[in-house]
Structure 1
Amino acid sequence: MRVLVAGWPSFLHGEATAGDVLAMEAVRRGLAGADVECDLAWSPVFRPGGLDLGRADPASYSHLVFACGPLHGPQIEELHRRYARCTRIAVGVSVIDPDDPAVAGFDAVLARDTPAEAPRHDLAALPATPSVPVVGVVLAPGQEEYAGRRLHDRIQRELTDWLGARECARLPLDTRLDPRDWRLFGTAAELESALRRLDLVVTTRLHGLVLALKNGVPALAVDPVGGGAKVTAQARAWSWPAVVTVPERAGERGPLLDAAELDRRLSRTHI
Structure 2
Amino acid sequence: MDDDLAAALLRTLRSPGRLPGRLLLTGWFSFLHGEATAGDVLAQRHASELLERAGVPYDTAWSPGFRPGALSLEAARPEAYDTLLFVCGPVHGPQVAALHAGFRTCRRLAAGVSVVDPADPAVTGFHEVLARDGAGAPARLDLAVRAPVGPLPPVAGVALSSGQGEYGARRRHDEVNERLTGWLAGKDCARVPADTRLDTDDWRLCATGEQFLALVSRFDVVVTTRLHGLVLGLRTGTPVIAVDPVAGGAKVTAQARAVGWPALVDADALSPSVLDHWWGWALSQEGRSAAARHSMG
Q: Shorter-chain TM-score category?
A: over 0.9
Which AA in structure 2 matches 1:163?
Answer: L
Please name the residue that 2:275 is paired with: 262
Residue type at the aligned position of 1:134: V
2-structure distance, mates of 1:116, 1:174: 45
5 Å-filtered alignment, 1:1-271, equals 1-129=21-149, 130-247=151-268, 257-271=270-284
Q: Which amino acid aligns with 1:229?
A: A
Q: Would the aligned equivalents of 1:140 and 1:204 in 2 still touch at CA under 8 Å?
A: yes
Structure 1: runs of 5 or more not aligned: 248-255
Could you tell me which amino acid in structure 2 is paired with residue 155 of structure 1?
V
- 1:43 deviation in Å? 0.3
- How big is the shift at 1:246? 2.4
* Deviation sequence 1:168-215 (CA, Å, 0-9, x none): 000001111112221111111111111111100000001101111111
* 1:241–1:268 contact (8 Å) kept in structure 2: no
1:1-26 superposed Cα distances (whole Å, 9 cap, x missing partner) = 21111000101111111111111111
Contact map agreement 2:84 2:106 (CA 8 A) in 1: yes
Give the AA of the match of 1:216: G
CA distance in 2, matches of 1:119, 1:264: 48
SS of residue matched to 1:52:
coil
**Structure 1 CA distance, aligned partners of 2:101 and 2:202?**
48
Write the letter of the residue equivalent to 1:153.
D
TM-score (norm 1): 0.94
1:265 deviates by: 2.2
* Counterpart secondary structure, 1:183: coil
C-alpha deviations, 1:55-96, integer Å up to 9, x for none?
211122121000011111111111111111111000111111
CA contact (8 A) 2:158 2:193 kept: yes
Higher helix share: 2
Tell me the SS of whatever aligns to 1:84: coil
The residue matched to 1:268 in structure 2 has which SS? helix
Distance in 1 separating the partners of 2:83 and 2:283: 47
Alignment TM-score, normalising by the size of structure 2: 0.86
> How far apart, CA to CA, are the structure 2 residues paired with 1:104 and 1:232?
63
1:102 and 1:25 map into 2 onto residues whose CA distance is 23
d(CA) in 1 for partners of 2:24, 2:221: 39
Displacement of 1:128 in angstroms is 3.5
Q: Which amino acid aligns with 1:179?
A: T
- Aligned-residue sequence identity (percent) comes to 54
Q: Unmatched 5+ residue regions in structure 2?
A: 1-20, 285-297
